[in-house]
Amino acid sequence: MIMQIEEGETVMGFRIRKSISLGKGIRLNLGKNGITSVSFGKRGTPHVTVGKNGTRFGTPVIPGTGISYETRLDKPSRETESQRPVMNRRPIHPATPMRPMPAVNPRQTQVLTPVSVIPPSPVPPMPNGYAGGNGNRGSHKMKKPWYGRWWAILLYVFLAFILLCIVAYATTPNGEIPDMTGQTVAAAKTELNNAGFDNITVKPETKGGDDKWKVESQNPISGEFKTSTPITLTVKRDNSDLADIAKKDMRLDAVITALKHAGYSSSDYVIESDTGKTVDKPSDWIVLSAGDGVIKVHDKAAEEAKAKSEAKAEAAKKKAEEAAKKAEEAAKKAEEEKAAKEQAEQQRAAEEEASRQAQLQAEQQQQVQQQQQQQQQTTSPSDNGSGSLIAICSDGTQAASAPGAPNYRGMCSGHGGIAQKLGRQ
């Protein structure tokens, strides 16, 4: 719907237009003859439109529908006004005052023969869609009525679609949705189809194994609904045959392949190791037991590797023990030889020390005897107590006191004490 008011220099109106977004708030507006203008501003917000008809500022009336109220910002130019199509009409000349005609004498009247006749200028045909204006300013292009516009046609289609939906909903019969919890998917679908419900969604997909999946929950729950109501069944794989597929001592990779062929997914069962370790490589594990959605496995590869490692360690230990025993025997023998050698050296040293002590003792005795002999042979003033006292110290040195000293006190104090007193000399 377009309402235009052209009066003075103010132009404003309501508009509905089709547009193509170029991003960042720039849109191309389309009309019958192609691109009519460019709009700046995001959809649903105030915007400015620049086109051949001028510059307008628009404010959305109903956001999201394209209906907006626009106000003309610039003034229409005289050139634009002059370019409007006008009806081709003859100019209107002002009337010329008529002069009075003189009296004619009937005797002097002559008949004149016309020389030529000037035909009237032809009037060109008017363009389609334009009408005359009785001398008014140019004519306007005729507009379609509002019920023939494109937006009215879209409105008709939309209302017809809404009416069709209402009629379809009103004519759809009601049905009773039963409680299907615990039933197989195949049985649940059959029961729903018999009740008139066909819009059924199963999550997750059963991949054709409806007889091996059971319903855990449903939406909507049981009750009376339209048969066009969508129904969602949340299902879970029935794992009662898990033990028949995952048999004891089977390799885990073979079990996983067999379960996949039987319609199982990885979320339908849990794999647990007997040691609590993470199962990384299925080919290294074997099945111990299966049931209640749990597969117990054992790391066979780790067990074999451990056995090999233990055997190798045992052989290495035995070899090390033998080597240690030989080394111990060799060390014992070397210790015995060393002890015997040390004992012989100690004995030899003891004999040498005994010989040296005996020799030293003999030398000391010989020295004492010599000193005694010298004392006996020499006549000294020892009798009157005026001579010096002579003593042999412990380190073998000889010490003499001051002449006339009454005793040996203080002698050999720095040589380990007195070893022998020789008397006065």
pLDDT tens for 173-185 read 888 899 989 888 9
Per-residue confidence band for 61, with pLDDT thresholds at 50, 70 and 90? low
- Antiparallel, parallel or unpaired: β 294-299 and 270-273: parallel
Confidence (pLDDT) at 136: 44
Q: What is the pTM of this model?
A: 0.34
Q: What is the DSSP string of 57-112?
A: EEEEEETTTTEEEEEE-SPPPHHHHHTS-----PPPPPPPPPPPPPP--GGG--PP
Per-residue confidence band for 125, with pLDDT thresholds at 50, 70 and 90? low
* 13-20 contacts at long range (C-beta below 8 A, 24 or more positions apart): 13/69, 13/70, 14/61, 14/67, 14/68, 14/69, 14/70, 15/58, 15/68, 15/70, 16/66, 16/67, 16/149, 16/151, 17/66, 18/66, 18/150, 19/66
The CA distance from 395 to 70, in Å, is 136
Residue type, 2: I
Per-residue confidence band for 88, with pLDDT thresholds at 50, 70 and 90? very low
Higher pLDDT pick, 377 / 252 = 252
Confidence (pLDDT) at 64: 61
Which of 138-152, 183-197, 280-294, 328-342 shows the lowest mean pLDDT across its residues? 138-152
Please give the DSSP secondary-structure letter assigned to residue 128.
T
Confidence (pLDDT) at 385: 55
Higher pLDDT pick, 166 / 50 = 166
Question: Is residue 12's pLDDT more than 60?
Answer: no
The CA distance from 278 to 272, in Å, is 8
Q: Which residue has the tokens 């003075």?
A: 8
Confidence (pLDDT) at 386: 66
Please provide residue 418's backbone torsions phi and psi, each rounded to the nearest 5 degrees: -85, 130
Per residue in 27-41, pLDDT (tens digit) is 777 777 777 787 877
Pick from 262, 260, 220: nearest CA to 241: 262
The CA distance from 72 to 10, in Å, is 7
Confidence (pLDDT) at 257: 92
